[in-house]
Amino acid sequence: MEYLVLLGIAVVIVGFALRLDAILIVFLAAVVTALLGDLGIDGFLTTLGESFVSNRSVTLFIIILLVTGTLERNGLKQAAAELIGRAKGATPGIIIALYGVMRLVFAAFNVSFGGVAGFVRPIIMPMAVGAIEAAGHKPDEDYVEQLKGMASGMENVAWFFGQVLFVGTSGAILVKTTLAPLGYDVDLLQLALIEIPVALIAVGVTAAYYIVKDNGLRRRYYGDSPAAAASVAVAKEGE
């Protein structure tokens, strides 16, 4: 009977396999786990409320959950796709690369957009798909799946290396507290300064790799080239 609480994990796996709404999947998995774990609706809401008050990350997650769901319901994806459709010569690879740069800058100030679920999925991916449509192509399912992996990878790289640029972040403090017993006094400001070129190289190499990879994918699926995509975009602008 105690293993029934693991059905919440099954809900997540099945939901993502069927490509259902991610926010709905997570919420249903939480409810299923609470009910099967004898927590009940009252216990679930109590636990959620206590975590909301005592844990900032949970609070941000709930806020992002509600805001993202509301914006998606009111046409966030369509607006993002239409916006990028007006850009000349924009390609999915360039969009993902620019997002990585923006993500790195904001991560340096410890500002989070909600990660893959809160920003990449509802905004970056519709913009990438909009760039495909703006070039006169129908989005290929396999190609879009590749772009999802690229966008998620850029999110992870930019956030991983960018957050250490913020003095006082958990990663920097972990380094300091780990090395202190070994006799190494780590200055957090100096650590952040040393990390700057590392972060720039990491994001720059990743961005360049994804742009090159995207160019190859577009040639594979559409016989497209960067020059051809730019000419199509200019033609659409003239119309």
Is the CB of residue 197 less than 8 Å from the CB of residue 161?
A: no
Top-confidence residue, 76 or 25: 25
Picking from 15, 37, 54, the residue at the C-terminal end of a domain is: 54
**Domain boundaries, position 46:** 2-54
pLDDT for residue 197: 94
Angle among Cα 37, 40, 43 to the nearest 5 degrees reads 100
Same domain, 103 and 186: yes
Q: Do 94 and 45 reside in the same domain of the chain?
A: no
Asked whether residue 100 carries a pLDDT value surpassing 90, the answer given is yes
In the predicted model, what is the mean pLDDT of the chain?
78
Task: Tell which residue, 162, 163, 168, has the closest CA to residue 188.
Answer: 168
pLDDT over threshold 60, residue 222: yes
Give the pair of three-digit tokens for residue 18.
Answer: 């069927």
pLDDT at 236: 47
Contact by Cβ (8 Å): 80, 126: yes
Do 154 and 179 fall within a single domain? Answer: yes
- Indicate whether 99 and 136 sit together in one domain: yes
pTM over 0.75: no
Do 45 and 84 fall into the same domain?
no
The domain boundary residue, chosen from 35, 54, 73: 54
The set of long-range contacts for 5-11, using a CB threshold of 8 Å and a minimum separation of 24, is 5/33, 5/36, 5/37, 7/32, 7/33, 7/36, 8/32, 8/33, 8/36
Question: Looking at the structure, do residues 49 and 65 belong to the same domain, yes or no?
Answer: no
94 with 42, same domain: the answer is: no
d(CA 63, CA 31): 18
Q: Per the structure, how many domains does the chain have? A: 2
Q: Are residues 49 and 167 in the same domain?
A: no
Q: Residue 39 in contact with residue 18, Cβ under 8 Å?
A: no
Residue with tokens 């290396």: 161
91 lies in the same domain as 171: yes
Whether the per-residue pLDDT at 42 is higher than 90: the answer is: no
Instruction: Report the alpha-carbon distance of residue 142 to residue 120 in Å, rounded.
Output: 18
Q: Which two tokens stand for residue 136?
A: 């006169």
**Is 188 found in the same domain as 151?**
yes
| Segment 182-195, tens digit of pLDDT | 888 888 888 888 88
- Residue 58 tokens, joined: 């949970």
Tokens matching residue 59: 């609070």
* Residues 72 and 14 both lie in one domain: no
Q: How many Å apart are CA 236 and CA 230, to the nearest integer?
A: 10
Does 48 share its domain with 84?
no
Kindly state the DSSP code that residue 124 receives in the 8-state scheme: I
